[in-house]
Structure 1
Amino acid sequence: MGARIDIIDESLSHSLTEMGDRMEDLAESVAKEIRGGVQTYFALPHLYEQATACVDEKLRGSLPFARLTVLHYRAFGGRGPAIYRAAGAIELMILGADIVDDLQDKDNNLTAWSRMSPEIALNIALGLTLISGQMLLASEFPLERIHEAVQYMNTQSLTAINGQTADLLNDIQSEEDYLRMIKQKSAAFVVAACMIGTLLATGEWNSHVRDYAEELGIADQIKNDIRDLLDWERGDFRNRKKTLSTLYLLQYIAEEDQWIADYFEGRLRMEEIGHRREEFERAVERTGTFLYTSVRMRMHCYNYLRIVDKLNIDVQWKNRIIALAK
């Protein structure tokens, strides 16, 4: 259920700095809310210490989901510091999902939670998910907006669980199956961050925000797939993951590259093909896999820009949201 949003990271920093939320201040405020929530609800010392290690790792990152939440809150007229608690809640929800994702996929041994017992890590993930809801419930917004935000966060978490299950089953036969899966798994959290910021600012559902956030989440996941394809140590090919890139590659490989399909279908082991990395890279180039997936990514970025243009907000804010896809 984890999520990465690399495509918008640099643009987010610029947009938030321009609007008055200095990155250092935003990060400090969100970190304070996150640490306060963990300290309040993890009473057992060992659990608190282990959870703090996970949170510390999270806070060393750029907190893109928190920044998306704050950006949309400000863009739709929200004022004041209360949004930082909501933004912290979103990041804790994402952290809980990331931990579960890594426990299930077993493909990332570099994190704090991968170095602790999976039983404790699972308890931390469950606890962080519940704490995120508690933080939202205790935020300083009108009650009806809080309830809508909590309900939406729960809905998106459940959507992501469905997507993560589809990903684990790896039973994806077509591009349509793949896009349906990443809408649920990856884009759901981008939608949650954008929509909750908007809901807390306006108290209203905004279908344009929901739609363009989904397009942005899809574009970013496709970008991640492009990057992961040639990661010979931990990438999608090695793990036989069905993505837009691998589906296209397998459809157009030449006869001499049939070994790629044999490995992907489990008829060969990595030990038998480990020496063929350069052949694999040449096959990716010959089939135009990178070009195809890059074009598909840009199509979703274009859809994003087209929907953002429909927003009825100040042009300066609209331009800052547009900049996320550049």
Structure 2
Amino acid sequence: MIEPRIVEDMQRIVDKYVAERDLNELLKAFIQDKAAEGSQWSNITRYTHDMLGGDSPHIDLAAAMTEIVLLSFDIIDDLQDEDNKGKPWMVSSPAYTLNGILVFLFAFMTEMSTLQESNSRSNPQLMAKLGVLLLQSINGQQIDLNDSIVTERDYLTMIEKKSGSLLRFACSMGYLLIPDLDQRTMDTMDQLANYIGMISQLDNDIRDVLRFDVKNDLLQKKRTLPILFLLMEKDDNFPYIQQYYSGQLTYDQFVTRKRECIRYIEDSGSIEYCRIIQSLHIDQANQLFDSLPGIAPWKEQFKGITFGRQQAQKVG
């Protein structure tokens, strides 16, 4: 969950940059919704910093800015997918929501630039690296939107860019505040974050393919890993997924088969296949994690909120 002091810092930033009362109140509603959801982004930033021996007085600001930036990316994702209809950013005026996204992103740029200028001990890579990571995630999101995923490799490349880059961003917000951190440790953290992002995205895609509501990836004709598996399966007894994706079945016709579709997915082996791929990424993440220096209890807490649950399920 987001710690109360981080929520207060996020609200303080809104007060600092937004004088218009209606937009100010709207952005604070966005923040409260995200806080109630139980976001872990700020904790990832803080635990990265703490486990690698950081002691920056600016870590709370960095954690708050991590939450603000990734909240803006969540909002953009919902606008593009047209789901999560009950969220305050989906029910508000689209023009207001877009202004809110701009406020969050420009506040991040301003705050982090000011921090870097005022802190001679900050890493000179700070803003350049963070910007590159966010741009990589946008490129991954575009691949997810433009229906260009055909193979497993396409999918894995997409989630590394889209999700891995955001995990790298959250970790970088923590370790780039540590002066003189060695390059090997930073490179290892980057690789680990990539794997964690991919592990998490696989979890999401497995869950989403089994739910038959507006969040279902099948209904939106997305090409996630479990769906790629299903599209490659030519089963004359259940041709409806291929027919829906090719346009032979309408949305309404496909939805009427949702119960048998879920049973088909559960029996198809697609979930087991995705878990195997996820397991390989968990093994890689563990190797990298074990090679990292780390201070207790922060190292264990970092693992607990990133890929500890998936590892426990794998072992089980």
Same fold (TM over 0.5): yes
Matched to 2:273, the amino acid is: Y
Partner of 2:64: 88
The offset of 1:138, in angstroms, is: 3.8
Q: Which runs of 5+ in 1 are unaligned?
A: 1-22
- Secondary structure of the residue aligned to 1:256 is coil
- Secondary structure of the residue aligned to 1:201 is coil
Matched to 2:187, the amino acid is: S
Which of 142, 146, 162 is residue 185 of structure 1 equivalent to?
A: 162
- The answer (yes or no) to whether the contact 2:49–2:177 under 8 Å persists in 1 is yes
Q: Which runs of 5+ in 2 are unaligned?
A: 309-316
Asked if 1:310 corresponds to 2:291, the answer is: yes
- The answer (yes or no) to whether the contact 1:136–1:146 under 8 Å persists in 2 is no
Partner of 1:149: 126
Q: Which moved more, 1:224-233 or 1:102-111?
A: 102-111
1:22-49 CA-to-partner distances (Å, cap 9, x unmatched) read: x7xx712211211111111112222212
Partner of 2:45: 69
Asked if 1:264 corresponds to 2:264, the answer is: no
Asked if 1:169 corresponds to 2:149, the answer is: no
TM-score for both structures, normalised by structure 1: 0.87
1:227-256 CA-to-partner distances (Å, cap 9, x unmatched) read: 000111120011111000100111124112
Mapped to 2, the partners of 1:35 and 1:153 lie a distance apart of: 22
The offset of 1:190, in angstroms, is: 0.8
Partner of 1:29: 5
Which of 30, 36, 50 is residue 26 of structure 2 equivalent to?
A: 50
1:125–1:173 distance in 2 versus 1, CA, 3 Å: same
Which of 192, 206, 217 is residue 212 of structure 1 equivalent to?
A: 192
Partner of 1:98: 74
1:38-72 CA-to-partner distances (Å, cap 9, x unmatched) read: 11111222221221221221222323110000001
Asked if 1:230 corresponds to 2:210, the answer is: yes
- Secondary structure of the residue aligned to 2:103 is helix
Within 5 Å, give how 1:283-298 maps onto structure 2.
283-298=264-279
Partner of 1:108: 84
Mapped to 1, the partners of 2:41 and 2:295 lie a distance apart of: 22
- The answer (yes or no) to whether the contact 1:74–1:201 under 8 Å persists in 2 is no
Mapped to 2, the partners of 1:124 and 1:139 lie a distance apart of: 22
- Secondary structure of the residue aligned to 1:255 is coil
Q: Which moved more, 1:217-226 or 1:166-175?
A: 166-175
TM-score for both structures, normalised by structure 2: 0.89
- The answer (yes or no) to whether the contact 1:244–1:293 under 8 Å persists in 2 is yes
1:303–1:35 distance in 2 versus 1, CA, 3 Å: same
The offset of 1:321, in angstroms, is: 4.0
